[in-house]
Amino acid sequence: MTVLRPEIVLIARKADAWPGPVEELIGGRTEVLAIDPDADLPESLDSDAVKVMVASPQDAKKFVPFFPNLRWIQSTWAGVDALAGHIPESVGVTPLRGVFGQAMSEFVLGWILSLERNIIERSNAKTWDATPERGVRGKTMGILGTGSIGSAIAAAVKPLRIQCRGMNSSGMPTEGFDRCFKSNDLQFFEDLDYCVAVLPKTKATDHILGASAFAAMNNDAIVINVGRGNAIHEDALLDALDNQSLRAAVLDVFTTEPLPESHRFWWHPRVYITSHTAAPTAIDLVALAMRDNLERYLVGDALEGLFAQAKGY
């Protein structure tokens, strides 16, 4: 029996498209093996040889105990909070970062323009209506999270003359934002026309969008959440929508996913649900995200962009 001694394992199902570009990136510089997460490990596999695993957080958590010499996990998801507390300190984890900016920007801009220009309603009109639309010029957007995704969204809305402010953990200024505020500073929410959350799931981000935040926004404000569901206090959001304190909410992520069929969000007239599809993982994104770190790993340099368990992102 030939013993398999891969240095890198790809935990992927047959339908997954990302392993091809990853194998092409590795280019035969070290041995690679694809493993189906729903099948048993090959009997001929030398688990001690595995140093790198590319997998979703859920699959990675399952396979970590089998690879005692593991050094690096490249996640195929942006969020890796599911791994917190389940990996040894000696194992570095890199989330899927720096590759979702365009997709998230498309999503945010698409929804704002659709709602502000009444695109869907206009397309279904059966009578003449010459009422002018409000447009977006001069409106104010607040983005919770000023990392690569938040910065990409800020850059995307700038040509439309939308003013942009940011919120981050420190309040430190970030390029592309007119002003940045520290987390939970209610001044950030004052008179917002658009509030976009791209936050990771941490204790500090739990219900950061609650009654006080909604009350500070304009009554015509649109809330968009493409980060993690824990950021929104769901009851407070429903109350604000019912009380006409907000115009609409576009929700891609939720505390419980899939969103239960009985949840009130499904039939609220001003809630738009997109079922965690805001930023699909294109075939080459995993390879793009791990490209620089793979070069560092192969020459023995330190990895960059590591998940910090203490921070939760």
Among 165, 228, 233, 247, the one annotated catalytic: 228
Q: Could you give phi then psi for residue 44, rounded to 5 degrees?
A: -85, 5
Instruction: Report the half-sphere exposure of 243 (CA within 13 A, side-chain side).
Output: 12
- Strands ordered across the beta sheet of 72-75: 32-35, 8-11, 52-55, 72-75, 92-94
Beta-bridge mates of residue 11: 35
Q: Could you give phi then psi for residue 142, rounded to 5 degrees?
A: -110, 130
Among 257, 264, 295, 296, the one annotated catalytic: 257
Containing H/E element for 105?
Answer: helix 101-116
257 is catalytic: yes
> Do 234 and 259 form a contact (C-beta atoms < 8 A)?
no
171 vs 183: CA distance, rounded Å: 7
276 is catalytic: yes
The letter for the amino acid at 53 is M
220 vs 230: CA distance, rounded Å: 23
For the residues of 196-241, what is the DSSP string, one character each? Answer: EE-----GGGTT-BSHHHHHHS-TT-EEEE-S-GGGB-HHHHHHHH
CA 287 to chain CA centroid, Å, is 17
State the first-to-last Cα distance of the chain, in angstroms, to the nearest integer.
42
The letter for the amino acid at 81 is D
DSSP, res 254: -
Q: Catalytic residue numbers?
A: 228, 257, 276
